[in-house]
Amino acid sequence: MAQAQAQQTGNGAPGKGFRSARLGWPELDRIPHPPRRVPLLGDVLDADPRSPVQDSMRIGRQLGPIFRRKAFDREIVFVWGADLAAELADESRFAKHVGLGVANLRPLAGDGLFTAYNHEPNWQLAHDILAPGFSRAAMEGYHPLMLDVARQLTAHWDERSGAGHEVDVPGDMTKLTLETIARTGFGHDFGSFERSRPHPFVTAMVGALSYAQQRNAAPPLLAALQQRGAAKRNAADRAYLNDTVDEVVEARRSGDGTGARGDLLDRMLETAHPETGERLSPENIRRQVVTFLVAGHETTSGALSFALHYLSRNPDVLARAQAEVEQVWGETEEPAYEQVARLRYVRRVLDESLRLWPTAPAFSREALHDTTLGGVHPMRTGAWALVLIMLLHRDPAAWGQDAERFDPDRFEPKAVRARPPHVFKPFGTGARACIGRQFALHEATLVLGLLVRRYDITADPDYELSVTERLTLMPRNLRLRLTRRTPARTAQPAARD
Ligand code: HEM
C-alpha cells in the first residue's frame, strides 16, 4: 500500500485541474472519435449530459476498445477492451487518476479516501487506520446490525405486498443501505423506514452526485454561467451533508446516542496510526464520514436493485436461489455471519448483475511514467484514460458472444478460472480499489438471501429497464410485486464445507 503514497501524478506535481488528452497522448489522432465532430464544440451531437456512460457505451461499441470523446476543449480517452484494461490495471505503470466526477466531488469530500490524490498523506493515514474496520472480525460485528435493518425492510415490504401494492425497489434499497452504513459505521439512525419520502440526506447526496456529473459536460466558464442556480443549490446540498456529519460526530464525541463500539467512527476519532502515531484531523474526519456515508450506500443500493430486477425476469434463477437458501439456511430465519458467504449461487446472481450494470461504472487510470498502451499508443507521464467498466464487462473477447445475456453461471469457479484476469472490475483496481468491497458483498448477499427466501418476485411485464445516471447507476422507477412464500419445511441447513 505504501506504493500508492509514493505515486505522483503528472511530472510529480499534484494532479489538480482537468488535463485534456491532447496534452498526454502524443499520437492521439490514431484513436478514433465519433464521426460527426463539430468544430469548437466537439462530439456534442447525440450526447445526452444525463446519460454520459450509456452514451459512451453506445459510441464505444461503434468505435472499438479505445476511443475518444471531446466536449468543447476537453478531450477524454476511453478504454474498454479487455487487453488494454488489463494493462491499465498494472500498478507498476498506472495508478488511480482523480479526474472528472471524482475530482468534481473534491469540494465536498476533499482528501477523503475516495477523492484523495495519490500523493496526499491523508490517503495512506486514513487507509491504514480504517482498513481494520473491514476485517473479518469487524464484519462479523456488523452482521447483527445488518440483520436489524433488513428486518425493517421486510416488515415494510410485508405491509406493502400484503396490501396488494408493488414495492419501490431503488427507493427502499437506498433506505436499507443508508441505514446499514450509518448504523454499522457511525452508530447513527436516520429513521429512513419511518419516512414516506427519502431522507433529506439522500436528496442532498443525489443533488451533489448529479451536479458533479453535470460539471463534466461543459467547460468551467460555460458551466459557471449556465449553472449559477445549480451551483447555489449544490452549496446548499454540501452544507446540509456537512451539517449532518457534524451532528453525527458531535453526538459521539459528547457520548450521546449509542456510544462507543469500535466502529468506523471510533476508529477515526480514537485510533492513531500503528507506526507513526499520527491521527486524523477533525476536518479530515468530516470528509471521511461524508465519503463513507455516500460511497457506503449508493452503489450497494443500485447493485441490489439490479439483482432484484434480474431475479424478477428470470424465474429459473430465482428458483435456484430460493432452493440454495433453503438448503444452506434450513429453517433459520436469520442466518449467522458465516452462513452468508455460503450462498454461492446468490452471490453469483449479484456478481452477474454487477457485471452487466457495475453501479460505479467507470474509473480512471494515469501513467506513472512515459509508456505505450497496447504497444501503439504512447502516453506521457500523467496522461490518463477512463476505463468503461460496463463495456469491459461485456467485451465478447473475454465474456463470449452472448455477453449481453444474464447468466449467473458465468461465475462458477471453473468459468472464472478460464477467463483472463482483470476482466471483472466492479470494485476498481489496485491500491485504490474499493475498501468496502467485503462489506457490500456481505450486506447484499445477506439481503438477497433473506428476500428470495421470503418472497416470490414478479416483474411488471410492461417495465423496460432504463437506467438513471448520477455518477452511479440505478434502475429507474423499478417496481416489483411480491408474494410471501413459505420456505420448504423439510430442508435442513447444509453441513459446513
Ligand atoms: C456494490 C457496491 C460498491 C461498488 C460497486 C463500489 C465501487 C467502487 C469503485 C469502482 C471504487 C474505485 C473508484 C476509483 O478507482 O476511482 C471504490 C472505491 C471506494 N469505495 Fe466502493 N463500492 C461499493 C461499496 C462500497 C462500500 C459499502 C463502501 C464503504 C463501506 C465503499 C467505500 C469506498 C471507498 C472509501 C473507496 C475509496 C478507496 C480508496 O481510494 O482508498 N464502497 N468503490
How many domains is the chain built from? Answer: 1
CATH number at residue 301: 1.10.630.10
Which residues have C-beta within 8 Å of that of residue 351, sequence separation ≥ 6?
408, 410, 411, 424
Residue 264 CA to residue 291 CA, distance in Å, equals 12
Given this model, what pLDDT does residue 315 score? Answer: 97
Residue 435 CA to residue 38 CA, distance in Å, equals 41
DSSP 65: S
> Ligand 1: which residue has its CA nearest to atom 18?
434
490, part of any domain: no
334, part of any domain: yes
Given this model, what pLDDT does residue 16 score? Answer: 59
Q: Is 295 known as a binding-site position?
A: no
373, part of any domain: yes
Residue 290 CA to residue 271 CA, distance in Å, equals 19
Across 110-219, the runs of DSSP E, i.e. the strands, are 167-168
Torsion 150-156-158-164 (CA) sign: negative
Which residues have C-beta within 8 Å of that of residue 79, sequence separation ≥ 6?
65, 66, 85, 88, 373, 385, 386, 387, 388
pTM for this prediction: 0.93
- Closest ligand 1 atom to Cα of 292: 29
pLDDT in tens, the chain (497 residues): 333 333 333 333 344 578 889 899 999 999 999 998 888 888 887 778 788 899 999 999 999 999 999 988 889 999 999 999 999 999 999 999 998 878 888 988 999 999 999 999 999 999 999 999 999 999 999 999 999 999 999 999 999 999 999 999 999 999 999 999 999 999 989 899 998 888 888 888 888 878 877 777 655 555 666 567 888 888 888 898 899 989 988 888 887 655 557 899 999 999 999 899 999 999 999 999 999 988 888 999 999 999 999 999 999 999 999 999 999 999 888 999 999 999 999 999 999 999 999 999 999 999 999 999 999 999 999 999 999 999 999 999 999 999 999 999 999 999 999 999 999 999 999 999 999 999 999 999 999 999 999 999 999 999 999 999 988 999 999 999 999 998 765 455 555 44
For residue 56, which phi and psi values (nearest 5 degrees)?
-65, -35
Name the amino acid, one letter, at 424.
F
Tell me how many helices (H) and strands (E) the chain has. 22, 12
pLDDT tens digits, one per residue of 410-425: 999 999 999 999 999 9
Distance from Cα 432 to the centre of ligand 1, integer Å? 9
Burial class (CB within 10 angstroms; exposed 0-12, middle 13-18, buried 19+) of 326? buried
Give me the active site residues, please. 299, 427, 434
Distance from Cα 435 to the centre of ligand 1, integer Å? 6
Torsion 335-337-338-341 (CA) sign: positive
- Closest ligand 1 atom to Cα of 429: 15
492, part of any domain: no
Given this model, what pLDDT does residue 387 score? Answer: 97
Residue 472 CA to residue 440 CA, distance in Å, equals 15
Beta bridge partners of 74: 71
Given this model, what pLDDT does residue 180 score? Answer: 96
DSSP 346: H
DSSP 362: E
Tracing cell 438513471 back to the chain, one arrives at 468
Distance from Cα 286 to the centre of ligand 1, integer Å? 18
Given this model, what pLDDT does residue 218 score? Answer: 59
Spell out which residues line ligand 1, taking CB within 6 angstroms: 96, 102, 113-114, 127, 181, 291-292, 295-296, 299-300, 303, 359-360, 363, 426-428, 432-436, 439-440
465, part of any domain: yes
Phi-psi region of 378 (alpha: psi -120 to 50; beta: other; left: phi over 0): beta
32, part of any domain: yes
CB contact at 8 A, 293 and 186? yes
**For ligand 1, mutation pick of 434, 443, 446, 448 (most atoms within 8 Å of CB):** 434
What are the cell numbers at 162?
400484503
What are the cell numbers at 238?
454540501
- Closest ligand 1 atom to Cα of 359: 5
CB contact at 8 A, 300 and 177? yes
> Ligand 1: which residue has its CA nearest to atom 40?
432
Q: How far, CA to CA in Å, does 235 sit from each of 201, 275, 281, 487?
A: 14, 38, 23, 50
Which residues have C-beta within 8 Å of that of residue 120, sequence separation ≥ 6?
14, 111
Torsion 18-38-213-367 (CA) sign: negative
Q: How many of the other CB atoms lie within 10 Å of CB of 264?
A: 24
Residue 80 CA to residue 425 CA, distance in Å, equals 11
Contacts made by residues 246-251, CB under 8 angstroms, sequence distance 24+: 246/286, 248/182, 248/186, 248/188, 248/289, 249/282, 249/285, 249/286, 249/289, 251/187, 251/188
- Closest ligand 1 atom to Cα of 97: 16
Residue 376 CA to residue 30 CA, distance in Å, equals 9
Residue 356 CA to residue 395 CA, distance in Å, equals 11
Which stretches within 215-330 are classed as H helix? 220-226, 228-253, 264-270, 282-295, 298-313, 315-329
479, part of any domain: yes
Query: Range of 387's domain?
Result: 2-484
What are the cell numbers at 470?
448520477
Given this model, what pLDDT does residue 103 score? Answer: 85
497, part of any domain: no
Distance from Cα 335 to the centre of ligand 1, integer Å? 26
Distance from Cα 262 to the centre of ligand 1, integer Å? 21
